[in-house]
């Protein structure tokens, strides 16, 4: 059974760096084709893809946020970490991590609400 | 970037009746391997999104067969043959043909 869970601060100040951790079980990020992605959702708005890391350490980023995002994996801990620098109030929202294969994002975490405010 | 456009924005439905959601992409999602890289998700109120359909027309594990996906290239449709009360929520299409991965704006399905 695949599960994912996001963790990190619920409140960050503008200009600070956000670090979110996705801890997963039920799959390995050394398995051919496996990936973990981050998707966010501002309150009341649509989903937005942020970043993706694959089993072979291939990393993809949203171009509009690429300069502020870093995604890494720790296969020994079954974790994927997303760092986002220079946070702004417009970055407030729920951040999800999700397991990805060629069959889509088939398992999602519960999400974590991050508020950016001074 | 590939722009995904969904319609309608809101869809009031009657239980037991069919429903249909359209998704159009600004570029073809058809790969030369024959697959359309288009997925459908449902976000029920207060929940995380869940995968309904992948690669255009394949139902995800556990998804009822009243849900079906069709289309190719730039035009796609999600159909619910007979809507049930538990189907309410926001439906999103998403393309995975190329990065950046992009979602449609969502279609809110509600019971009349």
pLDDT of residue A103: 84
Average per-residue pLDDT for chain B: 97
Do A108 and B58 count as a contact with CB atoms less than 8 A apart?
no
Average pLDDT rounded to a whole number, residues A65-70 = 94
Using a CB-CB distance cutoff of 8 angstroms, which residues of chain A are in contact with residue B108?
A: none
* Measured distance CA(B91)–CA(B42) in Å, rounded: 4
**Which tops the pLDDT comparison, A102 or A71?**
A71
Do A111 and B99 count as a contact with CB atoms less than 8 A apart?
no
Of B48, B92, B105, the CB nearest to A108: B48
Is residue A72 over pLDDT 90? yes
pLDDT in tens, B69-86: 999 999 999 999 999 999
Residue B25, both tokens: 């992409």
Is residue A79 over pLDDT 90? yes
Say if A109 is an interface residue toward chain B (CB within 8 Å): yes
pLDDT of residue B69: 98
* Measured distance CA(B100)–CA(A109) in Å, rounded: 21
Is residue A80 over pLDDT 90? yes
Residues of chain A with pLDDT > 70, as a percent, come to: 100
Closest residue in B to A110 (Cα–Cα): B48
| Of B110, B48, B45, B41, nearest in space to B78 by CA | B41
Say if B103 is an interface residue toward chain A (CB within 8 Å): yes
pLDDT in tens, A11-61: 999 999 999 999 999 999 999 999 999 999 999 999 999 999 999 999 999
Is residue A102 over pLDDT 90? no
For an interface test with B, the pick among A105, A107, A110, A111 (most B C-beta atoms closer than 10 Å) comes out as A105
Q: Is the CA virtual torsion B23, B24, B27, B29 positive or negative?
A: positive
Average pLDDT rounded to a whole number, residues A66-76 = 96
Confidence of residue B98 (pLDDT cuts 50, 70, 90): very high
E strands, chain B, are 4-7, 10-13, 19-25, 38-43, 50-54, 58-59, 67-72, 75-80, 89-95, 102-103, 107-111
Closest-CA distance of chain A to residue B49, Å: 7
Cβ count near B36 (within 10 Å): 24
Of A37, A102, A106, the CB nearest to B51: A106
pLDDT of residue A109: 98
Using a CB-CB distance cutoff of 8 angstroms, which residues of chain B are in contact with residue A62?
A: 100
pLDDT of residue A107: 98
For an interface test with A, the pick among B100, B106, B107 (most A C-beta atoms closer than 10 Å) comes out as B100
The C-alpha R_g of chain B, in whole angstroms, comes to: 13
Closest residue in A to B106 (Cα–Cα): A46
Size of interface A-B (CB pairs under 8 A): 64
Residues of chain B with pLDDT > 90, as a percent, come to: 100
* Measured distance CA(B17)–CA(A89) in Å, rounded: 42
Residues of chain A with pLDDT > 90, as a percent, come to: 97
């Amino acid at each position: 059974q695949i599960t994912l869970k996001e963790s990190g601060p619920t409140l960050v100040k503008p200009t600070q760096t956000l670090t979110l951790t996705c801890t997963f079980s039920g799959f390995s990020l050394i398995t051919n084709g496996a990936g973990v992605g981050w998707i966010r959702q501002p309150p009341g708005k649509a989903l937005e893809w942020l970043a993706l890391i694959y089993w072979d350490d291939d990393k993809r980023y949203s171009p509009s946020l690429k300069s502020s995002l870093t995604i890494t994996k720790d296969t020994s801990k079954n974790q994927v970490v997303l760092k986002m620098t220079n946070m702004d109030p417009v970055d407030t929202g729920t951040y999800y991590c999700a397991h990805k294969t060629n069959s889509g994002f088939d398992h999602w975490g519960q999400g974590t609400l991050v508020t950016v405010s001074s | 970037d590939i722009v995904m456009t969904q319609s309608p924005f809101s869809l009031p439905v009657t239980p037991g009746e069919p429903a249909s959601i359209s998704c159009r992409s600004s570029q073809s999602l058809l790969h030369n391997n024959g697959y359309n890289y288009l997925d459908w998700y449902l976000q029920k109120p207060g929940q995380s999104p869940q995968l309904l359909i992948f690669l255009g027309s394949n139902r995800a594990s556990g998804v009822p067969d009243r849900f079906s996906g069709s289309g190719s290239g730039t035009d796609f449709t999600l159909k619910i043959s007979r809507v049930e009360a538990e189907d309410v929520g926001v439906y999103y299409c998403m393309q995975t043909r190329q990065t950046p991965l992009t979602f449609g704006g969502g279609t809110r399905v509600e019971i009349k």
